[in-house]
Amino acid sequence: MSDTINLQDLLRRAFQSQIELGMNECVISPENLKNKTLAIQSEAQVVTPQQALGNSQETTAAFPSLEAHKDAICNCQLCPLGKTRNKFVYGVGNPNADILFIGEAPGADEDRLGEPFVGRAGQLLDKILAAIQMSRQTVYIANILKCRPPQNRDPQPDEMELCFPYLYEQVHLIKPKLICTLGRIASQALLKTTTPLGKLRNNWQFFEDIPVIVTYHPAALLRFPSYKRDTWEDMKKLKAKYESMI
């Protein structure tokens, strides 16, 4: 047996225990995770979240569906955002989508409605998707964080580390052919880099073996319309890449 166990495995085993016990409520909390950690520590040494994410080679989804995964984590209390959110924002779209769009975190409208990208930025994203003959019904849209940071502040590193395994599981359930990250924070968090967004846009990136295209967040386009031309070029590259794969 390996002398380390990654964070995704730890969370998945905790979730799986709940499902096997027939629990119908979401009960992920720091206390529950701590108890599960103590039970597993006799088998392996638990590494830090950052080490786990950096070293993970896991490629198999632990849940039978996105719905089962959502049900297992929808009342997460692993970080303080669980106490300040209105609604848990899991994701929306085609569960078998070929393209996964990833933003950074829910805003006020998303927190109110429980769906990602439903405010002004979301309306612009819908127009961008329509321009490349796609829609939120044909792609999948998620965020790095599932809960809104107060006053829409930037996500904190510890919040992203705790929430990232949820996105990781979504990726392995959806199995997208391509990923598009929206904005600097989402791009750097997914790719585990501090490279500026402008440089990340220059080339295709990869999350494990999945090609990733980096572009601006729709909210940035609302503030800086000059970014729209670059974003359109990114979307044309995305569409061309996708068409070459199908």
For the record, the structure tokens of 74 come out as 């929808």
**Distance (Å, whole) CA 162 – CA 158:** 6
Band of pLDDT at residue 179, cut at 50, 70 and 90: very high
Averaged pLDDT, 217-234: 97
Domain covering 4-245, topology: Uracil-DNA Glycosylase, subunit E (3.40.470)
pLDDT, tens digit, 9 for 90 and up, residues 43-91: 333 333 333 333 333 446 789 999 999 999 999 999 999 999 999 999 9
Confidence (pTM): 0.79
Rg (C-alpha) for the chain, rounded Å, is 18
pLDDT, tens digit, 9 for 90 and up, residues 98-130: 999 999 999 999 999 999 999 999 999 999 999
Total H helices, total E strands in the chain: 12, 8
What is the spatial order of strands in the sheet that 210-215 belongs to? 92-93, 140-143, 99-103, 178-182, 210-215, 205-207
Closest by CA to 168, choosing from 6, 35, 28, 30, is 6
pLDDT score recorded for residue 51: 37
Cα-flanking dihedrals φ and ψ of residue 4, to 5°?
-130, 155
Averaged pLDDT, 208-235: 97
Domain ranges of the chain: 4-245
